[in-house]
Structure 1
């Protein structure tokens, strides 16, 4: 049902209000699709902050137009001074949420959830309403996302993952969970760190595959796969995964599409980070959490091993 009244509440009395953040850089080809899919949401955000990270294409012009057309959409320029590219996105996201929270407080905007969505996505028009309904069903649900479709050539491939692994590109977070976790961590793999901290505090994390976000950018090239899964291996080292867990993950990837590239790339990424003794997450509870995940791997079928 269409709801243009963001003060509407569900059957449980939870306010169906959320603020939304989108970091973007040079998304001129994709951003109009995202804007259209947000504008037609059955429950729209009370505030949507688009963070422009120094775009050099027509992204700024698109943002200026939509900000003028919709008073609930705001734009800020990234002022991240982080030279470490791995922390740059986390810094942008934290800055966007800090602005949105402060703006909401100053302007009397109430919200129960905080969300983020990548600039290269397009969402089903009931996307956020469906997620909010799931939060209403389970008061311990802290972090949730939909499923993701990828456009690869002329095909649409659905990337199905474990149901307890929300996608970092289109998450919705309960306000109480967000605050209990200390907000967005200034960290590599910030979504993985956030989800770990949520679980450690007793919150559930869920992925609802039938609620679809479509990634518009073609990510199907072999080069794209290699870079993406090298990064996964880097991230697994940073998060302090047990080496045997990484090997299990790499083996499981061989059974998937383009599996040889994915499995080898993941292992190469982990080993490169280990050999260079790159820094790891500076949070003891998070390091222990990911190291100890190995204890649960043997309980899972091979094809479901992963992070």
Structure 2
């Protein structure tokens, strides 16, 4: 079909050799192809860069940017640094949507077309994306159970250009994929996940770090983002009875409150943090807001 929706994709990757081909195949088979796909190899050591170079040589709209290996994986801030390494070499200004896409996903050939149709109908939708799932026991399991209504997983973010121009640049820190949505809502846009559109994430979330470290990092990201301490405590109480019992809550609390103890800097956006905390208190008081109605 005609490419009536013009979009670009930026994909930061590091050591994704077992999965990146699945993502390349999924994008290459889309009913609406991207105008440009910038894939940033963030110092991979497992052959990811070589795979990307081969595929880029075969596809005119794929461009690979290679970054030096820093010697360690840098979640959050490192991801955004790699993202902007791609954004900085973008040479196509004729686009309607910009997509941040992980390199370990697979999805249906009409995924982006269906997403853009939703944006077409919902004129105030600023950020959207499908539901991240994982294969467990040969069944697709939704990975985003319990996420706020306004949240779109960082693995698949689609930004409408008018919204992007209001919230760009994104913060280069853990929690970037919440602050972007907070800022979008603050500017009058809506943000949401499309429950009916599913993507398979082949590398388990936190797979490189383990369960405790992954949840600890989530708690630290909540701190950096500026979560209200009372809201964070309520969140952890709610999750205490979710398997593995208490472990997730303890890790979240440890990551969050040690941020205060160590004096780690938070996001430098007082207006966004104030708005986020107001919305969190509204939720605790059972008032409607971006978190929905409890």
Partners in 1 of 2:22 and 2:193 — Cα distance? 23
Q: Aligned pair 1:120/2:110, yes or no?
A: no
Partners in 1 of 2:223 and 2:73 — Cα distance? 17
Partners in 2 of 1:92 and 1:133 — Cα distance? 29
Alpha-carbon deviation of 1:140? 0.6
List per-residue Cα deviations over 1:267-295 (Å, max 9, x = no partner).
11112112112111111112212222332
Partner of 1:104: 92
Q: Is the 8 A contact 2:150 2:181 kept in 1?
A: no
Alpha-carbon deviation of 1:88? 2.0
Q: Aligned pair 1:70/2:59, yes or no?
A: yes
Partners in 2 of 1:95 and 1:261 — Cα distance? 36
Alpha-carbon deviation of 1:126? 1.6
Q: Is the 8 A contact 1:47 1:74 kept in 2?
A: yes
Alpha-carbon deviation of 1:162? 3.6
Partners in 2 of 1:167 and 1:261 — Cα distance? 23
Q: Is the 8 A contact 1:146 1:210 kept in 2?
A: yes
Instruction: Please give the secondary structure, in 2, of the residue aligned with 1:293.
Output: helix
Q: Is the 8 A contact 2:98 2:161 kept in 1?
A: yes
Q: Aligned pair 1:243/2:229, yes or no?
A: yes
Q: Is the 8 A contact 2:49 2:66 kept in 1?
A: no
Alpha-carbon deviation of 1:62? 0.9
Q: Is the 8 A contact 2:170 2:180 kept in 1?
A: yes
Q: What residue ranges of structure 1 are gaps of 5+ in the alignment? A: 9-15
List per-residue Cα deviations over 1:227-254 (Å, max 9, x = no partner).
2211111011112211110111111222
Partners in 1 of 2:164 and 2:68 — Cα distance? 23
Instruction: Please give the secondary structure, in 2, of the residue aligned with 1:76.
Output: strand
Q: Aligned pair 1:148/2:132, yes or no?
A: yes
Q: Which structure 2 residues correspond to residues 36-185 of structure 1 after superposition, within 5 A?
A: 36-78=25-67, 85=74, 86-100=76-90, 103-105=91-93, 110-152=94-136, 154-159=138-143, 160=145, 161-185=147-171
Partner of 1:12: none
List per-residue Cα deviations over 1:47-96 (Å, max 9, x = no partner).
11100011111111210111111101111123698x99452222111221
Partner of 1:198: 184
Change (3 A) 1:69 1:196: same
Partners in 2 of 1:80 and 1:90 — Cα distance? 15
Partners in 2 of 1:227 and 1:84 — Cα distance? 13
Instruction: Please give the secondary structure, in 2, of the residue aligned with 1:104.
Output: coil
Q: Which structure 2 residues correspond to residues 283-298 of structure 1 after superposition, within 5 A?
A: 283-298=269-284
Q: Is the 8 A contact 1:151 1:217 kept in 2?
A: no
Alpha-carbon deviation of 1:219? 4.4
Alpha-carbon deviation of 1:257? 3.8
Q: Is the 8 A contact 1:26 1:59 kept in 2?
A: yes
Q: Is the 8 A contact 1:226 1:262 kept in 2?
A: yes
Partners in 1 of 2:226 and 2:273 — Cα distance? 5
- TM-score normalized with structure 1 length: 0.85
Partner of 2:198: 212
Partner of 1:28: 17
How many equivalent residue pairs?
285
